[in-house]
Structure 1
C-alpha cells in the first residue's frame, strides 16, 4: 500500500511540474536556512564543552565596585592564581595563562631560518593550566612540562610550520631573536570550538626571568590578557568559594579591598557573557533560532497555500477515486505520502544548498569549523530528520484533511465552494503571517545595516585614516635605534608622521586607574584610562587641541595631555585654566604637569561611553610604531617603510596593520549578525514571494469566469489589476500594522546595548513596509496581468 501511495504521488508531481517545483524549492530554502542556523547555534553552544569536568571549571573574573558604578573585568592578577591554589581547600586545581600578542619566533630548519610574527596564538601558561584542560599529546618529555623557565609546548601545526615535521622534542625555538626556548611537548591541534585557541605555550617561569619587576606579586596589577582558572572540588559550591574570596579581600588588596569582588564564571558562560569579553549573547542565538523556525513556518505555509490552490484542478480526480471506493483515510494518507515525497526531495535540494553555503557560514562565524563532514554528525542528522518529519506533519496535515474530505458529487461537477477547500480567509491569514515575518526581518536588517554604518562612519575624535601600526621587536629597548628608524622613514615625503606608542587612541588597551588632581588630598572617585605615546602621537592622529600644546621629548620630566572628558570630571570648564596644574596617575605612579587638553575621543568602540583619559610618554611600554601616510600612493609608502625597517632591523619580520582595520574588528560581532540576518531575510522574502504567487494563482483560478464576465461588460486591464491589487494592499497594510511595533520593540532593545546608536525613526519602519509592498506587487503583478490579458472567451469557456 505504501509503495502504491508513493507511485501515485510521483505521477501527480510529474503531471503538475510547476506546482511541484514551487513547493520543492520553497521548502528547500526554508529547510536549508533552518539547518544552517542550527549549525551556527550548535557551534557556539558547544564551545569548550569537550573539556573533562566541564561543569567544575571556572574562570575567575573581577567586578570593580567604584563610586560611579561597576566595571567588569575578565582578567586577573598573576598573583591570584598562586593564592587560590594555596588558600582554599574547595579548589582542587588552579591555573594561569597570559596572552602574548605580536611575538617573533624563529627556528633553524635545515639550511634556512624560518621566522614569523605570531599575532594571537601564543601564551604564557603555567603547569596548572596544562593540568586543568584536556590536551591530546603527540610527544612530551614527562608529566611536568612548563614548570621550568625557557621551555615551550607547540601544536603539531606549529611544529610543521617551523620544522617541517612533528618529532621536534629537544629542539630550540628562538623568542624575539633574543631567547632560546626548549621544546618539551607536541600537542595535537586543539579541538574546536574553543575560546582559548593557542598553538604555542611558553612556560610562565620564562616570564619571571624576562621581567623581574614586582608586578607579578601585586594583586592590583590586573590585565585583560591574564586569565585565572580553577576547578572546584567535588561537592564544593562556587558561591562558598566567592564568599571566601571576599573575606580574604583585605589580605590581597589591603585598604582598597572594598572595590574588588571576584566572581567564579562557569566555563559554560565564558563564551556568552559579554560583560567579561564573551563572543556572543545567548539572546542573539535564540533570536536566530526564532528566525530558523519562522523560515520553516513560512515555507510550510507556502505548501499549504499551493496544495489547496491545486486542489481545484484535482477535484475531479478526488471525486473519481471516491466513487471507485477510496476511503477518506486512504485519500488522507495518499496526500500525506505526496507531502512526504515533496519534503524528501526538498530536503535533498536543501542539502545541496547547505553544502554550497558552508564556506559563507565559516565567514559569518569567523571560523573554519564548518566543512561537509559536520553534516554527518549525530546531532545534525537528528535535527535534519526531525525537521523533515515536522514539515511533513505541519505542511501536509491540513491539505490532506481538506482534500480527502471533498464531496464526490460536488467534485465531479466542479461545484466545490471556497469553504470546501479551506476558504480564502484562511489563506489570507497565512499570507499575512508570512508578510509579518518578512517585514520584521526586513526592518531588523535595515536597523542592523544603519547601526553598523553609523559605527564605521562615526567621528572618533581623531583621524585614523592612512595610519598603519608596525609591531616593534621585543628585544629592542634602545632609543637611538628607534630614532634612527624614525629618521629613515621621514626621508620619504609620502610619510607624514611617525610616532611610538603602546596602542592607537581607540583600542582594547585597558591601562588605567586612580587619579589625583592639583593639591587635592583625596584620590578622585572615578577611574581614568591611560594612553602611552611620544611627542608625535597627537600629530600622527591629528588629535585637535582645545588648549595648550602637545608633549615634548624629555627624559625625566613627566607631561600630561588630558582629554576634555577628564577636565570636566575634575570640575574644570575652561581648558586654559587647567594648564600647568599637577596630576598624579595612580596606575603608573607618574606625577607631572598638564600641558594640553584635547577634544574627547573614543577609547574603545562606540558600544561604550567616552571615558576620561590621560596621554603621556612611557617609552618602556611602547610596542608599536604608528606611521601616517600620504593617501595618494599607499603601496609606494608601504614599500618605503619596509626599506627603512629592513635597514634598521634586518633580522626581524616586517608586518603592519591599518588602524581603521583594527578599529573595525570591534564591530565583527555586529558584522556577523548583520550578514546572517540579511541573508536569511532574503531567503524569507523569496519564500514569501512563492507564497504570494500561490495565493494569486488560487485567486485567479477561483475568479477566472468573473474576469471573463467583467471584460465582456467593458472592464479594462487596469480594472482587473485593481480588483486583485486592493486585496494584497490590504494584506500588506495589516501585516505592517502588526510587524512595525514588534520590530520597533525588538530593535530598540538591541540598540539599547550601545552607548552610541542611531535613532529608530519612523521612516526606517516605513521603509520596511514599502520594500515588502513593492516586492508583493512585483510578485503578483505578472500573474494578475496575464489573467487580465486573457481572451474573455477562453475565460468563460474554462467554467
Structure 2
C-alpha cells in the first residue's frame, strides 16, 4: 500500500511539473536558510556546555557606575579571591592572570617562540572547575610550587616536537630570557567547542618572579584589570541571591573615599558560564574571533522561519488552487472505496516527496551557503557538523513539520469533496478557498515588503554613519602599534626618527590610540567655581605635540601643551560646557581636580566623535605622557600620508613595514590600522544586519513572486475561454492584461499598506540605539512599494500577456 501511495504521488508530481518546481524551489530556499541558520545557532549555543556542572560555574566580573554611566570589566581586583576563600557557598574558587611572555625558549633544542599567546598564571583549582584529561603529570601537585608549567598537547608539540608527553615532564623552558620553568604536566586540549583557549598554565606563585609581582603582593582593592580573572563553582544555585549580596557588600566595604565622594560605585557580578560566549560587555579570551551575538542569532532565526513559512504558503496556495483539477480522481477513488484517511495519506505522501527532494537539494546547497554567510558563520563551523546526530534528528523533525504545515490543509480540503457532487461536476465556487489563497498571498508580500523597506532604511543609516563628518581627519592616516607588551619609549622614538626619512609621509606623531577607537581611558574630575562643584568623568587621549596637527583637531581657544611631560589639558567643547564655562576662552587657565593634583586647562578644541555614532560625544581631554619614567601611555606611531597613487602607497607601506623590522628585529608582531577602516569597523554589526536583510529581501521576493506566478498560471488557465470571448468582442491585449493583473496588484497594494507601519515601527525602534541617525523619509516607503509592484507586475505580465495574445479560436474551439 505504501509503495503504491508513493508511486501515484510521483506520477502526480511529474504530471504538474511547473507547480511542483515552484514548490520545490520555495521549500528549498526556506530549508537551506533553516539548515544553515539552525547550524549556526546550534554551534554557538553549545559552547562550553560539556563541562561537568557547567550550570554552577560562574565568572566574577566588575561593574562600575558613575555620573557618566556604567562601565564593565571582565576582571576583578586581585584581593577578591582571598576575601571569599572561606565562603562555604563556593565549592571551588580559582583566580588566574592572563599574560603574554615576550619569548619562550627550549634551549636544549634551540626552539624559540616569540610572544606566545593564551598563557595564564593559575592554581590547581583551575583543573577542578574545568576538567582536562592529563596525558602526563599529576593534577594535584603539578602547579603547587613556583616555576612549574602545564602545557596542552598542542603547545607541547611546538616546544618539544620529538618527545612524547611522559618524556617532556621535567624539561625546562626559559621565559623572558631569565625565568626557568619546569614542565610538570601535559593535558589534552579541550575536545568540545570552548572559549577557554589557554595553552600554557604557569603556577601562580611564579608571578612573584615577574613584572606582575607588585600587583600580586599589594592586592589593591581599587585596582581592577581585565587580566585578573576569577571563577567560582557554587555549591548550589539556590544560594545565588545570598552570594550576590555578600559580593556587593564586599565591593561597598572596600570602596575608596574618592569614589564615594564622586558618586561612583562598584559591584561584583556572577556571570554564568553560558553567557561568556555571547556577552560583549565582558568579552571572551580570543580577541581575534568576533563575539557571538544572541540578538543577531535571534534575527537570523526569524529570517529562517519567515522564509520557510513563505515556501509553505506557496505549497498551500498552489495545492488548494489545483484541488478542482483533481476532483474527478478523488471522486472515483471514493466511489471505489477509498476512505478519507487513505486520501489524506496519499496527499501527504506527495507532500513528503516534494519536501524530501527539497531537503536533499538544501543539503547540497548548504555547503555553498556556508561560504556565502561567512560574515555570520564562526570559523570552526564547517559542513561536517551536519553529521552530528543531534543535527540529523533536527533535520528529520524539521522535514516532518514542514510536510505537515504544507500538506495537511490541502489534503484535508481535497479529501472532503463529496463524491456525488464531484461526479456531477458540481463543486461550487470555492469562495472560502479563494479567500484563504488571497490572505496567504497578502501575508507573503507583506513579509517581502517589510524586508524591502528595512533593507533600504538600514542601508540609508549605514551610508549616513560612514559619510558623516566625525570632526577630525580620517583619510590617508595609519597607526603602527608597538608589539603587545613592549614598553620601551626609546624604540618608538627611534622608529619615528627613521620614518622621517620617508618622503611620502606628511606628518608623524607618537601617541596612544587615535581620536576615535574602541579603547578608552577615563577618570573622574571636579571643577570648583567658588562654592559650586561640578563633577564629571572625562576621557583621555594621549599624544605628543604633533598629534593634534596630524589628526587636524581644531583649536577654539588657548594653545596646545608645551611638551609631552608637562601636566596640561586640552579639553573639548563638551567638557567645557559640562564644567559650566560660558565660552571656550573662559576655560583657559582654570584647573580640574583629579584628587591627587590639580591640572590646568591650556586649550579647548572642537568636538569630535570618539566612538561609533551610536554614542554622544563625551567630555574629553588631550594630554601628553605624564607618567614617565614609570611607564608610557604611548603605544603607536601615527602617520599621515601625502596624496599618493595606489602603486606609490603600496611601496610606502612596504617601506614602513621594513623599517619596523629594523627597529623591532626580534619581534614579528607587526600591526597597522588605518583610520578610515577603524571607523568602518564601528559598524560591522550594522553591515551584517544590512547584508542579512539584503539576502532575506531577495529570497522573500523570489519565493513570493514564484508563488504569485503559479497562481497567475492557474487563474489564466481557468479563464482561458473568457479571455477568448473578450478578444472576439473587441477587447485589446492591454485591456485584457489590465483585467487579469488588477486582482493581483490589489493584493500587493494591501500588503504594502499592512507592511508600512510594521516596518516603520521596527526601524524607528532600531534607530533609537544611535545618537546620530538619518530621517525615516516617506520617499523610502514609496520607493519600496514601487519596487514590489514592479516585481509583481513583471511576474504577472509574463503569463497574462501570453494568454491575452493567444488566438481565441483555440480557446473557443470546443464551444
Q: What do residues 310-340 of structure 1 show as CA deviations (whole Å, max 9, x unaligned)?
A: 3344344334444444444332221111111
2:276 aligned to 265, 270, 281, which one?
Answer: 270
Q: What do residues 722-751 of structure 1 show as CA deviations (whole Å, max 9, x unaligned)?
A: 112222221111111111111222222222
CA distance in structure 2 between the partners assigned to 1:155 and 1:448 by the alignment? 45
For residue 691 of structure 1, report the CA deviation from its aligned partner. 0.9
Question: Is residue 309 of structure 2 the alignment partner of residue 297 of structure 1?
Answer: yes
Question: Is residue 470 of structure 2 the alignment partner of residue 426 of structure 1?
Answer: no
Mapped contact 2:124–2:140 kept (Cα < 8 A): no
Q: Which moves more between the two structures, 671-680 or 294-303?
A: 671-680
Give the 3 Å change call, closer, same or farther, for CA 211–669 of structure 1 in structure 2. same
CA distance in structure 2 between the partners assigned to 1:72 and 1:561 by the alignment? 24
Counterpart residue number, 2:693: 677
For residue 83 of structure 1, report the CA deviation from its aligned partner. 3.6
Counterpart residue number, 1:253: 255
CA distance in structure 1 between the partners assigned to 2:135 and 2:813 by the alignment? 80
CA distance in structure 1 between the partners assigned to 2:182 and 2:512 by the alignment? 30
Q: Which moves more between the two structures, 91-100 or 179-188?
A: 179-188
SS at match of 1:530: strand
Q: Which moves more between the two structures, 637-646 or 182-191?
A: 182-191
Counterpart residue number, 1:143: 140
CA distance in structure 2 between the partners assigned to 1:765 and 1:130 by the alignment? 58
1:783 aligned to 799, 802, 807, which one?
Answer: 799
2:568 aligned to 549, 554, 559, which one?
Answer: 559
SS at match of 2:267: strand
For residue 86 of structure 1, report the CA deviation from its aligned partner. 2.7
CA distance in structure 1 between the partners assigned to 2:161 and 2:474 by the alignment? 40
Counterpart residue number, 2:385: 374
Give the 3 Å change call, closer, same or farther, for CA 651–601 of structure 1 in structure 2. same
Counterpart residue number, 1:491: 501
CA distance in structure 1 between the partners assigned to 2:737 and 2:402 by the alignment? 34
Aligned residues: 791
1:707 aligned to 688, 712, 723, which one?
Answer: 723
For residue 105 of structure 1, report the CA deviation from its aligned partner. 4.3
C-alpha RMSD of the superposition: 3.3
CA distance in structure 1 between the partners assigned to 2:185 and 2:453 by the alignment? 53
For residue 72 of structure 1, report the CA deviation from its aligned partner. 3.7
Give the 3 Å change call, closer, same or farther, for CA 664–340 of structure 1 in structure 2. same
Question: Is residue 211 of structure 2 the alignment partner of residue 210 of structure 1?
Answer: yes
Counterpart residue number, 1:437: 447
Counterpart residue number, 1:569: 578
1:234 aligned to 233, 236, 239, which one?
Answer: 236
Counterpart residue number, 2:31: 31
Counterpart residue number, 1:219: 221
Mapped contact 2:314–2:704 kept (Cα < 8 A): yes
Mapped contact 2:102–2:485 kept (Cα < 8 A): no
Mapped contact 2:92–2:129 kept (Cα < 8 A): yes
Counterpart residue number, 2:670: 655
CA distance in structure 1 between the partners assigned to 2:418 and 2:712 by the alignment? 25
Q: Which moves more between the two structures, 534-543 or 132-141?
A: 132-141
CA distance in structure 1 between the partners assigned to 2:497 and 2:52 by the alignment? 55
Mapped contact 1:176–1:474 kept (Cα < 8 A): no
For residue 413 of structure 1, report the CA deviation from its aligned partner. 6.8
For residue 176 of structure 1, report the CA deviation from its aligned partner. 6.5
For residue 560 of structure 1, report the CA deviation from its aligned partner. 1.8
CA distance in structure 2 between the partners assigned to 1:677 and 1:163 by the alignment? 50
Counterpart residue number, 2:777: 761
Give the 3 Å change call, closer, same or farther, for CA 452–707 of structure 1 in structure 2. same
Q: Which moves more between the two structures, 524-533 or 729-738?
A: 524-533
2:365 aligned to 353, 363, 377, which one?
Answer: 353
2:406 aligned to 378, 383, 395, which one?
Answer: 395
Counterpart residue number, 1:133: 130
SS at match of 2:683: helix
Q: How does 1:560-709 map to 2 (within 5 A)?
A: 560-585=569-594, 591-618=598-625, 620-630=632-642, 632=644, 633-659=648-674, 660-709=676-725
For residue 429 of structure 1, report the CA deviation from its aligned partner. 0.9
For residue 775 of structure 1, report the CA deviation from its aligned partner. 1.8
For residue 260 of structure 1, report the CA deviation from its aligned partner. 1.8
Give the 3 Å change call, closer, same or farther, for CA 186–472 of structure 1 in structure 2. farther
CA distance in structure 2 between the partners assigned to 1:190 and 1:668 by the alignment? 30
Q: What do residues 692-734 of structure 1 show as CA deviations (whole Å, max 9, x unaligned)?
A: 1111112112211111111111111111211122222211111
SS at match of 2:430: helix
CA distance in structure 2 between the partners assigned to 1:362 and 1:190 by the alignment? 25
Q: Which moves more between the two structures, 277-286 or 676-685?
A: 277-286
Mapped contact 2:74–2:283 kept (Cα < 8 A): no
Question: Is residue 525 of structure 2 the alignment partner of residue 515 of structure 1?
Answer: yes
For residue 34 of structure 1, report the CA deviation from its aligned partner. 1.7
Mapped contact 2:526–2:536 kept (Cα < 8 A): no
Mapped contact 1:704–1:798 kept (Cα < 8 A): no
Q: What do residues 571-593 of structure 1 show as CA deviations (whole Å, max 9, x unaligned)?
A: 1132222123223445xx56433
For residue 98 of structure 1, report the CA deviation from its aligned partner. 5.0
Mapped contact 1:505–1:531 kept (Cα < 8 A): yes
CA distance in structure 1 between the partners assigned to 2:790 and 2:503 by the alignment? 54
Question: Is residue 545 of structure 2 the alignment partner of residue 535 of structure 1?
Answer: yes
Give the 3 Å change call, closer, same or farther, for CA 793–226 of structure 1 in structure 2. farther
Q: Which moves more between the two structures, 86-95 or 388-397?
A: 86-95
CA distance in structure 2 between the partners assigned to 1:92 and 1:728 by the alignment? 67
Give the 3 Å change call, closer, same or farther, for CA 528–521 of structure 1 in structure 2. farther
CA distance in structure 2 between the partners assigned to 1:767 and 1:206 by the alignment? 66
Give the 3 Å change call, closer, same or farther, for CA 52–741 of structure 1 in structure 2. same
SS at match of 1:364: coil
For residue 469 of structure 1, report the CA deviation from its aligned partner. 2.8
Counterpart residue number, 1:341: 353
Give the 3 Å change call, closer, same or farther, for CA 92–330 of structure 1 in structure 2. closer
Mapped contact 1:79–1:219 kept (Cα < 8 A): yes
Q: What do residues 410-455 of structure 1 show as CA deviations (whole Å, max 9, x unaligned)?
A: 65676654418x6322211111011111112222233333333333
Q: TM-score normalized by structure 2? A: 0.88
Q: What do residues 544-576 of structure 1 show as CA deviations (whole Å, max 9, x unaligned)?
A: 222233334344x21222222111111113222
Q: What do residues 48-73 of structure 1 show as CA deviations (whole Å, max 9, x unaligned)?
A: 322222221222233333345x4041
CA distance in structure 2 between the partners assigned to 1:64 and 1:417 by the alignment? 72
CA distance in structure 2 between the partners assigned to 1:178 and 1:468 by the alignment? 36
Q: Which moves more between the two structures, 108-117 or 381-390?
A: 108-117
Give the 3 Å change call, closer, same or farther, for CA 451–16 of structure 1 in structure 2. same
Question: Is residue 468 of structure 2 the alignment partner of residue 458 of structure 1?
Answer: yes
Mapped contact 1:704–1:795 kept (Cα < 8 A): yes
CA distance in structure 2 between the partners assigned to 1:461 and 1:201 by the alignment? 46
Q: Which structure 2 residue ranges, 5 or more long, are not aligned? A: 285-290
Give the 3 Å change call, closer, same or farther, for CA 354–475 of structure 1 in structure 2. closer
Q: Which moves more between the two structures, 514-523 or 30-39?
A: 514-523
Q: Which structure 1 residue ranges, 5 or more long, are not aligned? A: none
Q: Which moves more between the two structures, 596-605 or 190-199?
A: 190-199
For residue 280 of structure 1, report the CA deviation from its aligned partner. 5.5
For residue 179 of structure 1, report the CA deviation from its aligned partner. 6.0
